Amino acid sequence: MHLGRIAIQLHASAPLLFSRRATATALVLPHSRRAAFAMAATPPVARKVPRELAQHGDVRVDNYYWLRDDSRSHPDVLAHLRAENLYTATIMSDVKNLEDEIYAEIRARIKEDDIGAPLRKGQYYYYNRTLTGKEYVQHCRRLVPTDAPVTVYDVMPTGPNAPHEHIILDENVKAEGHDYYSIGAFKVSPNGKLVAYAQDTKGDEIYTVYVIDAESGKFVGQPLEGITSDIEWAGDDHLVYITMDTILRPDKVWLHMLESNQSDDICLYHEKDDMFSLGLQTSESKQYLFVESGSKNTSFIFYLDISKQSKELVVLTPCVYGIDTTASHRGNHFYIKRRSEEFYNSELIACPLDNVAETTVLLPHRESVKIQSFQLFENHIAVYERQNGLPKVTAYRLPATGEPIGQLQGGREIDFVDPAYDVEPEQSQFGSSVVRFHYSSMRTPPSVFDYDMDSGVSVLKKIDTVLGGFDASNYVTERKWAAASDGTQIPMTILYRKDRVNLDGSDPMLLYGYGSYEICIDPSFGRSRFSLVDRGFIYVIAHIRGGGEMGRKWYEDGKLLNKRNTFTDFIACAEHLIENKYCSKEKLCINGRSAGGLLMGAVLNMRPDLFKAAVAGVPFVDVLTTMLDPTIPLTTSEWEEWGDPRKEEYYYYMKSYSPVDNLKAQGYPNILVTAGLNDPRVMYSEPAKYVAKLRELKTDDNLLLFKCELGAGHFSKSGRFEKLREDAFTYAFILKALGMAPKAAL
């Protein structure tokens, strides 16, 4: 399903488009070049074209509405964006050497030639390989040389006597000639002979799907154009996929027979309610495919029996407002996670295939535990939950197929060692007793574990190598709590290098926040941030309301007419950190992307005195104007997240925090704003207008830089090293803003 204005990468900003060759050496410029430099060093001033926006008797004047160009091709708009990029490049040219130094540090931590943890599936091991100097991955496989069952000790053989490695797809080859390249789905057919992959070459998240022979790489049939990355196999000769309407809402699910024309495909379902979007999921048993239609608080499910010749959808759970369901299959039962207003943290139920109305509760609703998701196996179920703000995973043995099923008992809970961490499910094998999960913390590199659900034995299958002298024992992670204005305790995760900090209020800090869509920003590992932490920074994640870290109520208390809690929670965390000598106002920097960029804009208006610098990545800052316009992607589907401002109560509440609408003549800290021209989630014009208006109103002399990537979208550049450039640029800006960058002269 379309996820909304979501960006959960903790550090991302778009790379510069223009040369930054004026570096930290003194230059003597000819007169004409000095004049050109002086012009480039002058902040761009967007022209004013007043446009009145009236609603509920309230009139707002938007002087910069003209910056919105849906074609993304108007010469005046592009000229303004290029002028902003040139100004940013010029202002940042004195820290180009520092940026290069940080980039080299980050890249030096990466083992460039590496492979991921192989996954045994059918008769092959599947894995991704990265190569030295290459931006993208190779998708590979090897034959499994044994018929023995999958165990936690299973290892893919390598070396001269091992089965040959076959490269199914090399993204580096496919990316040639494209400024942007991303594969959103890579799905192997059930018989292992074909692969369907979804490709985006603009960053607009509109994909083309190709089917290839897994051995020869030859194309099978014609590509499917203009679809989402949500694709699934329905047997070996059919694909199911989803297309979008004019506002990029996934609204139709289609059945495609291989080697037929896309124009002949069958529409299985059309969701006409513009607050609902469609998504696909295949059961772990591979016997059923589920189509989910969901809004922000309601979802219902159809299923398709893949084994049947007639590919028709059947209702599994009906559409009932306020009830949200996800489903899978094992044996003669469907398993369903169901959330309602009464059971807000969800319950887990099962129902027979032949009588879906007859439900049995497997795990009841609990006020202190939120059921996040589950994975089914032939004889087990692994349940992913949250308790006290942290993930937990519990494995249960299930009765044999055909035996009565009842409430789950005697589960094995997996132990984790860090005080705060991130755990995510990985693809596992349905017929085995092994559940695979991904684990990391702020000081523990990304790791893949296989866990035997019968014996409780856990085996590390892969831990990412971190080069450059990284030693986890040098770093400390802490979990602290800040009191919000209403007394609510807000969790924070803290990282620092113990031999580089004083903890007396003198240390610089980067505080990150998000707080929307019930997304959990768990404290995962990030190589890039050590270039700050090793320079004495303290890095903190504020797990504020609007996210899902503390359960469903945590989300509901930070959305709609409670949205301001998100912002005041973040401010409370900042104040707590200052009061407890982790930092000071003079050294506190903040960062957020997308809906987290909204957070940045809101807190900067509310408490500009509290921060020294802010980075707002692809920020959702023109909330009221966007949410009043149903022609903009995501607007209709997000009225249940932010509110529908066509209703007066929501209009004035949203106006009270919308960053663009609350800019005023006051001092602001140093600010870096980024955007992507092809972004389908947050239109580039929102940050462009925000910066133009802020330039007009702010009363300080601090930095205000805007960088728009003209060849990418919401997630900016696609290459793995290109993304490192973004982090290096962001960190160079932060160090410059704090006066911690080496001085240079022009």
Query: What is the predicted pLDDT for the residue at 547?
Result: 98
Would you say residue 724 has pLDDT above 50?
yes
**Dist. CA 324–CA 319, nearest whole Å:** 9
> Tens of pLDDT along 99-140?
999 999 999 999 999 999 999 999 999 999 999 999 999 999
Is 679 an active-site residue? yes
Mean pLDDT of 501-513: 98
Strand partners, 256: 239
Asked if the model's pLDDT at residue 716 lies above 80, the reply is no
Sign of the CA dihedral 541, 542, 545, 550?
positive
Cβ(547)–Cβ(492) below 8 Å: no
| Residue of 507, 622, 679, 727 marked active site | 679
Phi, psi (deg, nearest 5) at residue 408: -70, 135
Residues 719-726 have a mean pLDDT of: 92
253 pLDDT more than 70: yes
Q: What is the mean pLDDT of residues 574-581?
A: 98
Q: What integer pLDDT is reported at residue 292 of this predicted model?
A: 98
Find tokens 């692969």 and name the residue.
195
- pLDDT tens digit string along 406-437? 999 999 999 999 999 999 999 999 999 999 99
Q: Flag whether pLDDT at 28 surpasses 60.
A: no
Domain-by-domain residue ranges, the chain?
A: 46-108+475-738, 113-177, 323-464
Name the active-site residue from 714, 716, 718, 727: 714
The pLDDT assigned to 743 comes to 73
What is the pLDDT, as a whole number, of residue 14?
A: 29
Residue 674: how many other CB atoms lie within 10 Å: 27
pLDDT of residue 19: 27
Q: What local confidence, expressed as pLDDT, does residue 452 receive?
A: 98
- According to the model, what pLDDT value does residue 45 have? 96
Q: Is the pLDDT of residue 24 over 80?
A: no
Q: Are 307 and 377 in contact (CB under 8 A)?
A: no
Contact (Cβ atoms closer than 8 angstroms) between residue 581 and residue 503: yes
Catalytic residue among 328, 441, 516, 594: 594
Q: Sign of the CA dihedral 419, 425, 426, 432?
A: positive
Task: Give the residue among 137, 98, 133 at the shortest CA–CA distance from 115.
Answer: 137
What pLDDT is stored for residue 6 in this prediction? 47
Mean pLDDT is highest, among 24-38, 641-655, 710-724, for 641-655
According to the model, what pLDDT value does residue 40 have? 66
For residues 319 and 280, give the distance between their C-alpha atoms in angstroms, rounded to a whole number.
17
Summary mean pLDDT of the chain: 93
Superfamily classification of domain 46-108+475-738:
Alpha/Beta hydrolase fold, catalytic domain (3.40.50.1820)
Per-residue confidence band for 742, with pLDDT thresholds at 50, 70 and 90: confident
Q: Which residues contact 154 (CB under 8 A, 6 or more apart)?
A: 120, 148, 450
Q: Which residue has the tokens 């903890």?
A: 503
11 is a catalytic site residue: no
Q: Is the pLDDT reported for residue 12 higher than 60?
A: no
Q: How would residue 5 be classed by pLDDT, with cut points 50, 70 and 90?
A: low
Paired residues of 706 in beta bridges: 673
Residue 11 pLDDT more than 50?
no
pTM of the entire structure? 0.93
Do 323-464 and 46-108+475-738 fall under one CATH topology? no
pLDDT of residue 428: 96
The amino acid sitting at 484 is A
pLDDT at 510: 98
Q: What is the mean pLDDT of residues 90-95?
A: 97
Per-residue pLDDT averaged across 698-703, rounded? 98
List the alpha helices (DSSP H) in 202-337: none
- Report, as an integer, the average pLDDT of 173-181: 96
Contacts of residue 342, Cβ cutoff 8 Å, sequence gap at least 6: 365
- Is 543 catalytic? The answer is no
Report the pLDDT averaged over residues 315-334: 97
Question: What's the pLDDT band for 1 if we cut at 50, 70, 90?
Answer: very low
In the structure, what pLDDT confidence band is assigned to residue 95 with cuts at 50, 70 and 90? very high
Which percentage of the chain shows pLDDT scores above 90? 91
Instruction: Say whether pLDDT at 22 is over 60.
Output: no
DSSP state of 665: S
Report the sign of the C-alpha dihedral through residues 213, 215, 218, 223, in that order: positive
Helices (H) and strands (E) in the chain, counts: 13, 38
- Read off the pLDDT of residues 539-551 as tens digits, 9 standing for 90 and up: 999 999 999 999 9
The sign of the torsion formed by the CA atoms of 499, 502, 506, 511 equals positive
DSSP type of residue 414: P
Q: Which CATH architecture has domain 323-464?
A: 7 Propeller (2.130)
